[in-house]
Amino acid sequence: MHRLSFISFWLAISLALASLAVPIPVPPLGTTPDPAQPQNQEQKDNQDRIDRATDLANKQILKMEHVLNDPNKPENKKMIDAAFGSDPNQRKMQEITDTVQRLKVGTVPVKLATAAAQGQSLGFTSYDQTTNPMTPQHIEFTPKYHAKATGDDGRAGTLIHEATHYLKQTGDYIDANGKMIKGDDHQTTARTGYATGNKPKTTPENLDKDANWKKMRDGHTPAFSPGTPKTQDLHLNAESYAQFGAMAHNAVPDRDVGISSKRPAPLGNSNAGNIPAPPAQPHVPVPPTQPHIPVPPPQPPVKKGAAKKAPASKAKSPANNQNQLPPPPPPPPSAQGGRANKRSKPNGKPGP
């Protein structure tokens, strides 16, 4: 083969192989459990439910990203408008994209112990109120979250809702002028951005049938409430992302975002998610066996007291460290003024 033809042939082969390479996956949304390991059967069961919800939430996040990559496609625009309002002045598309990207790689701390019941609330984000703006501390889930009736879809929507509070300071409350209030703001109001029910809606049509949601989003519409302004800054509404995720998951096939439907969701892993695996590492050959070195003959025994023992090394191995005193216990955590706040009632019934 001619030299130039040979080079062209191998260049073509190299490019073909490169196109088949599996991209290294981006770390998915993860949860950091507290405690790190379940302390009883209830916490173990809670961990399993949270892991399944995390797996489903990660699929929804990938599909939200897919929709946002082509926002003017008619079916995609319908989902975006249903979740964030059809008026371009109601939302900032770049902020929506940024929040979904933050969800894609973020990690949120969650309590494994079941929180006390909070009315219709499935979960809440606890804040340190001594700071201004407030500082999110962790997420807790109530008995309704872990109830069988809520299902993985309701739990995934709740996790996304609360994760946007923690990672991007989204809120639940709407001020008198119809603007969403950021989640780290101390202000609360009677008007909220919730939809009804414990499970997000899976189509724009179903979400539009939710009178509470439609009034919140399109409050200016005479058929609903002439005196209520439509909500502005819906990119700051935590519930919008829960609804958007459910609609995107229903509309976008798994294969379009590289999810294998044959691979089961792992349990007990806070970063559970059917994300494509990285390519196998190249084989590294084992080095050749070293030549045999003969062992010297044994020395005659030393008489007792004939020589001093060599001083023990200070760098002891764990096996030779039996007499070492254990390290002192860590200091107790400082008391923090978090709250089970009403800003975090994802998918609950509307507030008063």
Q: Which structure tokens are listed for 291?
A: 């030549």
Look up residue 258 and give its two tokens.
């590289």
- Here the tokens at position 198 are 């414990």
Average pLDDT over residues 119-127: 96
Report the pLDDT value the prediction gives residue 2, as an integer from 0 to 100: 52
225 phi, psi to nearest 5 deg: -155, 95
Contact 131, 36 (CB under 8 A): no
| Per-residue pLDDT at 223 | 60
Q: Where are the domains of the chain?
A: 30-221+230-253
Is pLDDT at 122 greater than 90 in this prediction? yes
pTM of the entire predicted model? 0.70
Residue 20 or 47, more confident: 47
User: How is 234-270 classified by DSSP, letter by letter?
Assistant: GGGBHHHHHHHHHHHHHHS-GGGGT--TTSPPPSS-T
Q: Given pLDDT bands bounded at 50, 70 and 90, which one contains residue 349?
A: very low
Average pLDDT, the chain: 78
Taking only the tens place, the pLDDT of each residue in 319-344 is: 334 344 444 444 433 333 333 334 44
Express each pLDDT in 144-161 by its tens digit.
Answer: 999 999 999 999 999 999
- H or E stretch at 211: helix 211-217
Helix (H), strand (E) at residue 192: none
Name the 3-class secondary structure at 112. coil
**Average pLDDT score over residue span 231-248:** 98
Give the sheet arrangement for strand 135-141, strand by strand. Answer: 30-34, 107-111, 135-141, 123-128
Task: Mention every residue, 6+ apart, whose C-beta is less than 8 A from residue 32.
Answer: 107, 108, 109, 110, 270
What is the reported pLDDT for 23? 40
What does the pLDDT read at residue 228? 79
Higher model confidence: residue 347 or residue 228?
228
30-221+230-253 CATH, one of 3.30.70.980, 3.40.390.10, 1.20.120.1080, 3.40.50.360: 3.40.390.10
